[in-house]
Amino acid sequence: MLTYPDIDPVALAIGPLRVHWYGLMYLVGFAIAWSLGRWRAAKPHSGWSSGMVDDLIFYSVIGTILGGRIGYMMFYGLDQIIANPLSIIRVWEGGMSFHGGLVGVLIAIALFARRYRLHFFQVGDFLAPLVPLGLFAGRIGNFINGELWGHRTDLPWGMRLPCSDFPNQCMDLPVGTVWSLPVHASQIYQALLEGLALFVVLWIFSSKPRPLMAVSGLFLLGYGIARFVVELVRVPDPHIGYLAFGWLTMGQLLSLPMLLFGMLLLALAYGRSSTMSR
């Protein structure tokens, strides 16, 4: 049985200025992507320069932040916007949607590809392996923020939460209870699956020449599977709940197009490659 560590979500406070771990995790993710991208660009015949990587990461940062925040508020927080329109800018409080961020990054890729006169999927295939470690860092930020917990569990790695910090987890327990019953740390599951595991798969897969669209397709398929599976043990947002069947969540619904499009891209990539090789 694990116990949630006492982590202050504020990493640094100087007067009224507060730097949150959640925001720092995004910086870590972008820094890792930038470093990996530069490393790959430096390889012979990569077709990429360090300056191109710098620009791509800059475009991606803007797309991720704007798309992630706007997407979250549209998918999960319309009631917050109605109650307080300024809540859309409070990124430091958490509330970023991967699917919204993905849309933002796709727009960024399109703009970058147009500027450098590249095929959209030349850019997508280069960027895809750089993303998962950023997702890993973001999920660690969710864990430090104490959000996105899973259902209760009897498994030995279930995590107890302090009732003083997480009263919603203890509402059905006797008054005075100090610790919640163990729950799934679904943020850690996501960090391991869509972060570390997906990174290893994509990094190895993309280390050899692949047909155009194949790396992008594998990323979408891999993330879609990881997200869909973890959502089975993750508690949905209380103001949304389950959408259907007593288990379908908004995260799963938004991941279905990724699964389908990922399979389509892989089929097109290898079908096209097979046709061209004849």
Residue 94 is predicted with a pLDDT of: 56
Per-residue pLDDT of 207-251, as tens digits, reads 999 999 999 999 999 999 999 999 999 998 777 888 888 889 988
Say yes or no to pLDDT of 52 above 90.
yes
Phi then psi for residue 108, to 5 deg, are -60, -40
Residue 170, domain member (yes or no): no
Q: Which of 58-62, 78-82, 244-248, 257-261 has the lowest mean pLDDT?
A: 78-82
Residue 211 is predicted with a pLDDT of: 96
Q: State the residue for tokens 């209760």.
A: 152
Domain of residue 99 covers 2-150+185-276
Give Rg (Cα) of the chain: 20
Say how many domains are in the chain.
1
Residue 178, domain member (yes or no): no
Residue 180, domain member (yes or no): no
The model carries a pTM of 0.88
Asked if residue 159 lies in contact with residue 2, where contact means CB atoms within 8 angstroms, the answer is: yes
Residue 73 is predicted with a pLDDT of: 75
Q: What percent of the chain shows pLDDT beyond 90?
A: 68
Distance CA 126, CA 41 (A): 9
Per-residue confidence band for 85, with pLDDT thresholds at 50, 70 and 90: low
Say yes or no to pLDDT of 278 above 50.
no
Distance CA 91, CA 23 (A): 8
Distance CA 20, CA 9 (A): 6
Residue 213, domain member (yes or no): yes
Residue 112, domain member (yes or no): yes
Residue 179, domain member (yes or no): no
Q: Write b or e for each residue in 118-152: b if 16 or more Cβ atoms lie within 10 A of its Cβ, otherwise e.
A: bebbbbbbbbbbbbbbbbbbbbbbbbbbbbbbbee
Asked if residue 36 lies in contact with residue 129, where contact means CB atoms within 8 angstroms, the answer is: yes
Per-residue pLDDT of 4-32, as tens digits, reads 998 888 888 888 888 888 889 989 999 99
Residue 140, domain member (yes or no): yes
Residue 242's SS3 state is coil
Residue 260, domain member (yes or no): yes
